[in-house]
Copies of this chain bind each other. A is one copy, B any other.
């Protein structure tokens, strides 16, 4: 397999992250690039979900993926196999990405043709939610084995998300996970969040998620 490009992103020196995120978003709008920020706890299935998503959308939308991690290039290598442009961002120990770090990644990723840029954030339900990356939409994945109470315990993550994917629904029979309860907890945190149950491993529900994403990209670029 080809070597994966690894970018060592530097922590931002800018205190005014919100302003810089807004500026980045405005630039992306002008360039017709939709940036999705995908967040979740470690092991919720971000990379597997992205691979499925890319399979469904890559023939109609030009996609580029930024895989952020403390270390390793496991995820970028997996994405590269999906046939989309993929780079690895190393955060140098940082637990999140801010707008300026995201911009450093975008500068490497985008060479004129990317319409949908996806940032797979660091696996963490806490810190990434605190920093606006400049993304047009935020998505979170919560997987069944993590438990239906996570919106109670990690409120900000669910407040800032436009869409929540409930992943690994195939193993629901083996876990005490109540989908209705989970929907209710998410609604408490964010009444506008769209909730889509999926199984990234089998592909169940991923079409619904891809439809949602396709609509968002079209609307942003129109």
Interface, chain A (partner B; CB < 8 A): 41-43, 69-72, 74-75, 93, 95, 122-127, 130, 143, 145-147, 149-150, 152-156, 168, 170-171, 174-175
Tell me whether A145 and B127 are in contact (CB under 8 A): no
Given A70-B153, A145-B168, A153-B74, also A125-B124 (CB < 8 A) = yes
Complex Cα–Cα for A41 and B45 (A): 13
* Residues of B close to A168: CB separation below 8 A: 145
Tell me whether B150 and A43 are in contact (CB under 8 A): yes
* Residues of B close to A42: CB separation below 8 A: 41, 125, 146, 150, 153-154
CB distance from A71 to the nearest CB of B (A): 5
Given A145-B43, A156-B70, also A123-B125 (CB < 8 A) = yes
* Residues of B close to A154: CB separation below 8 A: 42, 70-71, 123
Complex Cα–Cα for A85 and B156 (A): 29
* Residues of B close to A174: CB separation below 8 A: 170-171, 174
Nearest chain-B residue to A91 (Cβ)? B126
Complex Cα–Cα for A170 and B43 (A): 17
Nearest chain-B residue to A44 (Cβ)? B146
Tell me whether B74 and A149 are in contact (CB under 8 A): yes
Nearest chain-B residue to A43 (Cβ)? B146
Complex Cα–Cα for A75 and B70 (A): 28
